[in-house]
Chains A and B, each alone.
Chain A
Amino acid sequence: MALRSLAIRKAIGLGKSVGLGLRGLQTVTLPDLPYDYSALEPAISGEIMQLHHQKHHQAYVTNYNKAVEQLFQALNKVDTSTVVQLQGAIKFNGGGHVNHSIFWKNLAPVHEGGGEPPHSSLGWAIDTHFGSLEALIQKMSAEGAALQGSGWVVSTVVGFKSLQLFHHCCCHCLYVSANVHLCILFFASLHASFWQWLGLDTEFKRLVVETTANQDPLVTKAPTLVPLLGIDVWEHAYYLQYKNVKPDYLKNIWNVMNWKYASDVYQKECP
């Protein structure tokens, strides 16, 4: 998944040349959106898209580059405690950059196929694992609404066991798989900032619904997970438009979901 290292290079913050630092240190740049800010209305307002892209994502890029620069210097000086201390900033800002870069590609205006259900192999896999596309959407929206706070929700079903107990940062989930995908969630979760994902477990070739806290990329859940779709459930992703009515956001975002991207990734991993 190559990043589009185009255009908007506002304040990379280091005054260095395109992408390549003085000591060969690669910096990241803010990728361009493949559509206008207002193209996803009415599901997501243009104001939110602009702030989200130009302010939030840009801040992650800038701060990640700063942290990496400091890391580089600390590594050269063999300043181990600084190296360790920087990990938080790198995980947070780097994760924010990774996640948002995927997010922009996950969305598409309606006239470019946004909201169109997946066909071919991904569509088949969804029907097999979740029963139907509606069931998957229902599940992801319910999880996203239940978690209090910020983060990303990803879809993970580790299929063939009949009962699976997940302990995920203070929440307990009971999955009953096979024909009826009934998910009983006992959330004592304190998650405030999170992401919701539909991912692919490349080892077992199974679709997964997962959540990650703050800006943790999906790969922090397991190295074999590849994100197919991610939903940003941080408040900045919807608050200006939906205020506290998070369920509406989680319902409407499916109208601009770019299943084609998810299909492409899926087919690449499961040819």
Chain B
Amino acid sequence: MGSVTCNPLAPPSTHLLLNPSKIPKFCHSRRQLHGSQRASKIIAYYGLKTPPYKLDALEPYMSKRTLEVHWGELHRGYVEGLNKHLAKDDVLYGYTLDELVKVSYNSGNPLPVFNNAVQVWNHDFFWESMQPGGGDIPKYGVLEQIEKDFGSFTNFKEKFIGAALTLFGSGYVWLVLKREERRLAVVKTSNAINPLVWNDIPIISLDMWEHAYYLDYKNDKGTYANVFMNHLVSWNAAMSRMARAEAFVNLGEPKIPIA
């Protein structure tokens, strides 16, 4: 484990970011103040990120009212809850949100801050997984990879919507890039679990909690999932996330020239 000792106050140094599995274990050892005392109390850590479009831009597929309530109240509530946790506990300060999610997941025995942290992450990701005039089909590398891993785009779409409809209770449906298997997959998670905790890289997500669609579609999950695929999903966002993911996962065989 190299230089990693159980020093809860030291946020992981940059080089560890390249190897996420080496994030130092979250441990409650005795608190020691590093360096000088902070002169003033830090009040806020995370802000509520606005979606990259106006709240009415997703009409008629996702109403302004839904955005106002889902983003403006619920997502905001999670951010405020997260900040409250961080205000109480110096140990948590210094992690990026990704790291905080992984660390507070604590291998399946999550810490109290996990729920708020992961839901902030999930919702930031979800808003960015959609765009006005979304839907249609992806292009270039994303499409190639989907066709390679699912056979065809239609097959992938069926799998994705099928997962949304067979989710029992609340949860999310994800298109993830699996790190170990080096391929794309459709994954459904319960409640607020995020594929980051298994070290995979999310590419697209669909929020299947009832609050995400109830105001617009009542209990009609099928229409909601189809509308998401046909009109909302942002393949542009997927493309940039895939491009970043390829820095961590080698998807192709290296082309070594002969002789």
Contact = CB atoms under 8 A, between A and B. Distances in A.
16 contacts: A148-B115, A150-B210, A187-B115, A188-B111, A188-B114, A190-B114, A190-B193, A192-B190, A192-B191, A234-B210, A235-B210, A235-B211, A235-B214, A236-B210, A243-B73, A244-B69
Contacts of A88: 168
A213 interface: yes
Given A190-B190, A234-B210, A213 B114 contact: no
Contact of B214 (A148, A192, A236): A236
Interface string B169-189: 111000000000000000000
Nearest to A59: B219
Interface residues of A, number: 29
Pairs A-B, 9 closest by C-beta atoms? A192-B170, A235-B210, A193-B169, A214-B169, A192-B191, A190-B191, A55-B219, A92-B168, A188-B110
Interface of B: 69, 73-74, 77, 109-112, 114-115, 119, 168-171, 190-193, 209-211, 214-215, 218-219
Would you call the interface of chain A mostly helix, strand, loop, or mixed?
Answer: mixed
B169 A243 contact: no
Given A56-B219, A235-B211, A189 B168 contact: no
A244 B115 contact: no
Contacts of A191: 191
Contacts of B191: 148-149, 190-193
A186 B112 contact: yes
Contact of B215 (A92, A192, A240): A240
A213 B110 contact: no
B73 A244 contact: yes
Interface in A218-252: 234-236, 239-240, 243-244
Interface in A170-218: 170, 186-193, 213-215
A50 to B, nearest CB: 10
A8 interface: no
B72 to A, nearest CB: 10
